[in-house]
């Protein structure tokens, strides 16, 4: 299982081990962690929720896209769900390639695609409340529990 | 009947993760209108839809037993 959604803490080494290959000259690892401050606001903890069956398929699709674009590449991705505290690991992406440049580029591609097509959502919990985050830039969010008028027309 | 799944804020508003509704041979747009009316969901027309775990457009025709998920803007990573 190279593409997983995990309810348990992610073991980084396990994800890396999946992409070890004799033809590889580089392995890059991206570790996404829970940040305490976003635009000056203090996060207490996050809840990640996934549409798991589809999320695994979309992670597999990202792996396929990468292997088509960067030959002889191995990809493994695990994304955590459930309650995560500050500094906890939310996602680990490991990519191995014959040469290092491809490894950096392919890994960056993977995280950007996750933010576009993988059905996973985070709910921020602050001291003064909670909110499902509409996207990573926090430009789309639904404090009322519903999209705002301007988002609906956007 | 088709199965409809809700996630994130949609699940909070509806108060359920899943409902089973009429929708055989409907298109996605018609199902969205029906669900929006039944549960008071606003802005559903701008939420992405997946049919049987693949993204689908508003013209996609539904079949008996399909699983439809409404996908709010994602925020993983």
Contact B54/A at CB under 8 A: yes
Contact A130/B at CB under 8 A: no
CATH for B11: 3.10.20.30
Beta bridge partners of B51: B54, B68
- Could you tell me if residue B53 is inside a domain? yes
Contact B69 A111 (CB under 8 A): no
Tell me which residue range forms the domain holding B38. 2-71
The Cα-based distances of B21 to A46, A121, B4 in angstroms read 32, 25, 7
> Nearest chain B Cα to A116, which residue?
B74
pLDDT digits 0-9 by tens, B40-66: 998 887 799 999 999 999 999 999 999
What integer pLDDT is reported at residue B5 of this predicted model? 98
- Could you tell me if residue B64 is inside a domain? yes
Contact B9 A145 (CB under 8 A): yes
> Nearest chain B Cα to A77, which residue?
B77
Residues of A with Cβ-Cβ distance to B3 under 8 angstroms: none
Contact B15/A at CB under 8 A: no
Measured CA to CA, the distance from residue B62 to residue B50 in angstroms comes to 11
One pLDDT digit (tens) per residue for chain A, 154 residues: 999 999 999 999 999 999 999 999 999 999 999 999 988 899 999 999 999 999 999 999 999 999 999 999 999 999 999 999 999 999 999 999 999 999 999 999 999 999 999 999 999 999 889 999 876 544 555 444 434 444 443 3
Contact indicator for A131, A142 with CB cutoff of 8 Å: yes
Give me the number of domains chain B comprises: 1
Beta bridge partners of A127: none
- Could you tell me if residue B77 is inside a domain? no
Phi-psi region of B52 (alpha: psi -120 to 50; beta: other; left: phi over 0): left
Contact B7 A119 (CB under 8 A): yes
**Domains (range + CATH), chain A:** 3-121 (3.90.1170.40)
Residues of A with Cβ-Cβ distance to B72 under 8 angstroms: 121, 132, 134, 142
Contact A12/B at CB under 8 A: no
Residues of B with Cβ-Cβ distance to A132 under 8 angstroms: 8-9, 12, 72, 75
User: How high is the ipTM of this complex?
Assistant: 0.94
> Nearest chain B Cα to A55, which residue?
B53
3-state secondary structure of A118: coil
3-state secondary structure of B52: coil
């Amino acid at each position: 299982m190279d593409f997983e959604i995990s309810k348990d803490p992610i073991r980084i080494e396990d994800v890396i081990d999946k992409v070890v290959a004799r033809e590889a000259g580089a392995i890059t690892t991206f570790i996404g962690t829970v940040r305490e401050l976003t635009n000056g606001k203090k996060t207490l903890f996050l809840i990640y929720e996934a549409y798991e069956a589809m999320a695994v398929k979309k992670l597999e699709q990202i792996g396929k896209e990468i292997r088509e674009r960067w030959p002889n590449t191995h990809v493994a991705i695990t994304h955590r769900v459930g309650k995560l505290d500050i500094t906890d690991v939310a996602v680990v992406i490991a990519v191995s390639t014959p040469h290092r440049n491809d490894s950096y580029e392919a890994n960056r591609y993977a995280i950007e695609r996750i933010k576009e097509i993988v059905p996973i959502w985070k709910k921020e919990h602050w001291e003064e409340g909670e909110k499902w985050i509409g996207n990573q830039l926090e430009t789309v969010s639904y404090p009322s529990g519903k999209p705002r008028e301007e988002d609906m027309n956007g | 009947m088709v199965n409809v799944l809700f996630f994130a804020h949609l699940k909070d508003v509806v108060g359920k993760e899943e409902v089973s509704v009429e929708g055989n041979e409907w298109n996605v747009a018609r199902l969205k209108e029906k669900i929006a009316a039944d549960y008071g969901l606003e802005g559903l027309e701008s939420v992405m839809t997946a049919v049987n775990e693949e993204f689908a457009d508003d013209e996609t025709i539904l079949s008996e037993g399909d699983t439809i998920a409404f996908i709010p803007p994602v925020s993983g990573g």
